[in-house]
């Protein structure tokens, strides 16, 4: 998204898939079959806390998150990495569907929501112009 806003930065130096950038959201614009993305998060809350994930899957997409629980300890790292795998269940060409991952602590005092946008692709279309 940022690459389209700043004409000086076309992101041509980035060699991977843009949905693999460690952003506070997940957007998969070309889901064919399944794709796995990873995110590294930093705990800015209490030093000792456990978060559990709740998934609100986009319509037509199965979402599998690993791990489903992240525990931060006083003497441990404040960073944790999780992976989310998206699998297309319904083949709908070119329609974005939306959902979220919500990480909440056991006491319910803190919750972090990660928005998700997924667009399933059945096939790439080529337009002939005459």
Measured CA distances, 4 to 7, 10, 90 (Å): 7, 7, 29
Check residues 32 and 116 and name the one with the higher pLDDT. Answer: 116
pLDDT band, very low/low/confident/very high, at 13 (cuts 50, 70, 90): low
pLDDT band, very low/low/confident/very high, at 52 (cuts 50, 70, 90): very high
Query: What strands lie across the sheet with 26-31, from one edge to the other?
Result: 26-31, 111-120, 96-105, 49-56, 69-72
- Average pLDDT rounded to a whole number, residues 87-101: 84
Instruction: Please determine, for residue 61, whether its predicted confidence score (pLDDT) is greater than 80.
Output: yes
Q: Read off the tokens for 17.
A: 């898939």
pLDDT band, very low/low/confident/very high, at 127 (cuts 50, 70, 90): very low
Instruction: Please determine, for residue 124, whether its predicted confidence score (pLDDT) is greater than 80.
Output: no
- Average pLDDT rounded to a whole number, residues 58-65: 95
- Average pLDDT rounded to a whole number, residues 11-37: 81
Check residues 3 and 38 and name the one with the higher pLDDT. Answer: 38
Mapped onto helix, strand or coil, the DSSP state of residue 5 is helix
- Average pLDDT rounded to a whole number, residues 66-85: 94
């Amino acid at each position: 998204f940022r690459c389209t806003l700043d004409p000086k930065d076309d992101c041509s130096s980035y060699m991977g898939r843009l949905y693999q950038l460690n952003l506070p959201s997940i957007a998969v614009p070309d889901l064919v079959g399944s794709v796995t993305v990873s995110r590294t998060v930093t705990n800015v809350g209490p030093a000792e806390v456990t978060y559990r994930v709740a998934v609100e899957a986009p319509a037509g997409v199965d979402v599998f998150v690993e791990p489903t629980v992240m525990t931060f300890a006083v003497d441990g790292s404040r960073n944790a990495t999780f992976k989310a795998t998206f699998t297309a269940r319904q083949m709908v060409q070119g329609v974005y569907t939306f959902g979220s991952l919500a990480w909440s602590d056991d006491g319910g005092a803190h919750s972090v929501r990660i928005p998700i946008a997924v667009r399933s692709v059945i096939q790439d279309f080529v337009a002939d112009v005459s």
